[in-house]
Amino acid sequence: MINNKITYLKWCLLLIFVLITYFIPLNGRLLWQPDELRYAEISRELILSCNFNVPTLLNVRYFEKPIFGYWVNAFFQILFGENNISVRLGVVFSTLTSALFIYLSAKMAWEKTIIAFNAAFIYLSMLIVLTVGTYNILDPIVTSFITMTMFFLQWGMKTKKFFKKLIAFTLLGISCGLGLMTKGFLVLVLFMLLVFFNSIYYKQFKKIFPFFLISLCVMCIICLPWAIIIAKCEPDYWHYFFWIEHIQRFMSNNAQNKSPFWFYIPILILAVLPWLGYLLTSLINSFRNKGQNIYFLLWFLIPFLFFSIAKGKLLTYILPCISPLAILIATYLDEALEKKNVNIIRINAFINISFGLLTAGMIFFSKNFKILNVYQAHENNKLLLAMSAFIFWALIGIISLSRRYWMLTAACTLILSLSIGYVIPEKIISNNTPEKIIKKYQSKLLDKPYLLTNNVGLGTALAWVLKRSDIYMLHQTGELGYGLKYPDSSNRFYRLNQLPALLEEHNYQDVALIVERSQDRILSTLPGRPKIITEGNLVFVLYDKIECFKNKK
């Protein structure tokens, strides 16, 4: 009876933790550009056009990703409207789905509810999961499908009954297919690598191979309808998506976000906070114990090495590696608690105390160093709140020194997750979250038939706030370069030398330019005498009335 009450209490605390850290902060900060605004706007345009097959951004073809992630975002927008909460609910529920399958995977491996619960709990409280799990991008969605895939593979390898094995590999094919439709062929490559190495290590290659083929067939059945439709609607889609978005992005010499091999090592160290003290020991322990530990070790190592070898890297790519780490840490922690090994618990606590105090100290003293200072003079309240979040982190570290309160480690990020939207410096807000500034001048922009910008991220912010997709690109095409090459979209781009003709055609009115302050080349060559408003990092150039331009330059 006592054990049941403790279990019930733990689940209640986990639910409260999820509500506080994942749901309450959803509307606490504006959408970030370019990622959050991009995916929000693409989904909004799907709904507006009633064309759920071809993704567009600012009404221009956008072939960087498949369709399913946009469907997820569109689904929540249809349910709850076009707002910051609805566009983030997809990643929140995907993160919770990953936690559920982490629980099921750990439970299947060790048949201990406590390990399964701790694995899900540790996963949901890791810094990278908390951060990315409330950030509107596709990585949490695809991570949920990879986590499902690994659970179904584990089930298929473990069960000896033909019918259950068939079900497991069928579900594996479905989850892999949906992952492919979210992020692309990357999911298929990881899936094949993980199946191959696990089947070789556990000497099940011959047994698994026929079911593996079934999974591939199911995956094709899942993907084929949309693959055919998009090929029929846009014949060039698959050529661009495969060669540009996969081969060139990850492996070519001019790959996007090109970074060294060790790029993910420091990111991993920060990603697993506040559980960093268990990282190395849990990996070593899993290698020593072998058995089922190797399955999760391979699940971690193969994607980590794959993304490290790839030339193009982004911080969020390693999110699928975090799921098996949570399971390995929970397994090691269970073993340490049984052996009453308090040293590792104290080491982890000291890491959190040190991290909290050092970060709080850096924030406090940053105002004395011009290079480090991100807060302006009138932002002392934000600085103090940021410091408080990390002092709280250190205090939780002190409490978790006791073996009895090790689970409170998860609370280290509590104040940070609740306050993040209120501690971001204005300098960063101005550069990355332009919604508030655009809303301020919404009435001046809504009646302008021509809105031009040179920045795609800024263009998506304009489209999202003003609820209009007819934003024109000026001087630079950015990530819309490929889509703007199509004849029916070429009129959506103006070169700088075409701007005077556009203004003359409209009698120097009904046109507005929104650019960043750094765009001297654009701002120094503006025809006529427009009304110029500078707000933060943005410059609004308004051509309003004919009278204002009688004395044109």
Q: What is the pLDDT of residue 2?
A: 60
Contact status, residue 90 vs residue 136, Cβ threshold 8 Å: yes
Q: What is the pLDDT of residue 553?
A: 44
Q: What is the pLDDT of residue 197?
A: 93
CATH code given to domain 435-549: 3.40.50
Q: What is the pLDDT of residue 552?
A: 47
Q: What is the pLDDT of residue 149?
A: 95
Amino acid letter, residue 378: H
Q: Report the alpha-carbon distance of residue 173 to residue 179 in Å, rounded.
A: 10
Q: What is the pLDDT of residue 546?
A: 53
CA atoms within 13 A on the CB side of 388: 13
Q: What is the pLDDT of residue 425?
A: 82
Q: What is the pLDDT of residue 393?
A: 95
* CA separation, residue 137 to residues 65, 108, 423, 439, 464 (Å): 11, 30, 22, 23, 16
pTM: 0.92
DSSP letters, 77-104, are: HHHH-SSHHHHHHHHHHHHHHHHHHHHH
What lies within 8 Å, CB to CB, of 110 at 6+ separation is 116, 292, 331
Q: What is the pLDDT of residue 229?
A: 94
**Nearest to residue 514, comparing CAs of 492, 533, 495?**
533
Task: Print burial letters for 64-75: b (CB count within 10 Å at least 16), e (below 16).
Answer: bbbbbbbbbbbe
- Averaged pLDDT in 10-residue chunks for the chain of 553 residues: 74 91 87 90 94 92 92 94 92 96 95 93 94 91 95 94 94 95 88 92 91 94 94 88 70 66 92 94 91 94 91 86 96 90 91 94 80 76 90 95 89 89 80 86 88 92 92 90 88 90 86 88 85 88 66 45
